[in-house]
Amino acid sequence: MDDAISMTAHPYGKTMNSISFSKYGKPSELKKTNVAYPHGFDASNNIVIKVHAAAVNPVDKGLLSGDFKMVIPVASFPHIISYDVAGVVEEADLEGKFSVGQPVFARLFGSPQDGKKTPWYRGAMAEYCVADTSNVVLKPENLNFEEAASIPLVSLTALQVLKSSGLKEGDSIFISGGAGGVGTMAIQLAKHVFKAGRIVTTASKGEKANLCMALGADEVIDYKSTKFDEVLGKSDESKFDVCFDTTGESLQMSEVVNDGGRIVTIAGMATLEELRRIGGTAWILKLFVKKRMKRKEYKAAHSKNADWSYLFLSPSQDDLSTLAKHLESGAIKPVLDGVWDFHSEDVEDGWQGAFNRSFSGRAKGKCVVKIV
């Protein structure tokens, strides 16, 4: 099974329900499956979470399909999908960082930070999951579990991109795909935390454009009727200090970035440098992943005296804690497209509906599945 670690049965036969896949493939491979309750993990720095809600991300489709298996292989089959979670501590860690009954939220990463394989670093779309304590923080009291589950991936990504971009108070920023999960958080963080002076984004007109404006965008360009690089950047005053690409349009952003500005993308193929940074050092990566300086996007940005880079999300409890504080203060807020029922088998209202909606690319914010 793709060199994955096989899952062993619980020693006392304890099981749980999950949404999982037994081989890489299409979304139809996702099934409601009864699997072993978590066991055999390192209890010194891991906790078991009784999952109240889990969120779906478009990147889950790539993990399911196997597109990322050379960089982020699953640890075992059947593999539980989805990696954003909120719930209550069911089993505490032996180091005492968390206690039974505490409400928490977390981003589950594909392997422990020491690089050792374990069958329990799997997804969150189940009645219980295991999380490394370094990726867990207490749930803000003003958020319900569904809202908290929507936060980790998109908010960590947006925060880390804005930090790496050097965005500072008064700067201008262009964000593509403002109504998506990452885009909705990037607009809020840029406006209310980084204090950007001008925020422009793209979204379809109507409901999505209105959402972006309500979150803090100063201008929304209808991408269905207008190419942003044809209406922006025509003067130095209309160019941007930072461009944040969530839609695979960083090449066109070279036309709207300031002299000395920065373009950061999270879309498309990563650079060799970024894959190495996150630990993807397999020799085969060199066969098809280009170095940053050889990418046409980098060359286009460099020709305008701007920088271009790719960013992969990195584990960071500090960043997750920072986001929790901004959520508690009201500086940023969750944006949910909808909540679906884990226990329902209805294609529209049950868990399948959440995946279909998220994978369609039409969601406004996050798609969340309520488990408890």
Q: Interior CA angle at 50 toward 352 and 84, to 5°? A: 55
109 and 57 in a common domain:
yes
Angstrom distance (rounded) from CA 246 to CA 266? 6
168 and 136 in a common domain:
no
Query: Are 19 and 31 within 8 A, CB to CB?
Result: yes
Per-residue pLDDT, 318: 96
Structure token digits, residue 265:
């993308």
157 and 304 in a common domain:
yes
- For residue 51, give the amino acid letter: V
**325 part of a folded domain:** no
What averages of pLDDT result for each successive group of 10 residues across the chain (372 residues)?
Answer: 49 90 94 90 92 95 86 79 96 96 91 44 89 95 98 97 97 97 97 98 96 98 94 88 96 96 86 63 54 80 93 91 98 97 93 95 93 96
**66 part of a folded domain:** yes
Angstrom distance (rounded) from CA 35 to CA 319? 32
165 and 233 in a common domain:
yes
Angstrom distance (rounded) from CA 248 to CA 251? 8
185 and 144 in a common domain:
no
Q: What is the CATH number of the domain that holds 347?
A: 3.90.180.10
Per-residue pLDDT, 277: 66
124 and 99 in a common domain:
yes
**328 part of a folded domain:** no
173 and 233 in a common domain:
yes
127 and 166 in a common domain:
no
| pTM of the full structure | 0.90
Per-residue pLDDT, 9: 79
**1 part of a folded domain:** no
**133 part of a folded domain:** yes
Q: What is the CATH number of the domain that holds 292?
A: 3.40.50.720
In sequence order, the β-bridge partners of residue 129 are 49
Distances (CA, A) of 294 to 44, 253, 263, 274: 44, 17, 16, 14
104 and 83 in a common domain:
yes
Number of domains in the chain: 2
Which parts of the chain are beta strand (E)? 15-21, 31-36, 46-56, 79-80, 84-91, 103-107, 128-132, 136-138, 172-175, 198-202, 219-221, 240-245, 257-265, 307-310, 336-341, 366-370
Per-residue pLDDT, 314: 87
86 and 195 in a common domain:
no
DSSP three-state, residue 303: helix
Per-residue pLDDT, 116: 47
110 and 81 in a common domain:
yes
Which parts of 216-335 are beta strand (E)? 219-221, 240-245, 257-265, 307-310
> For residue 77, what are the domain limits?
15-151+334-370
**147 part of a folded domain:** yes
247 and 146 in a common domain:
no
**315 part of a folded domain:** no
Per-residue pLDDT, 119: 44
Query: Are 6 and 76 within 8 A, CB to CB?
Result: yes
**144 part of a folded domain:** yes
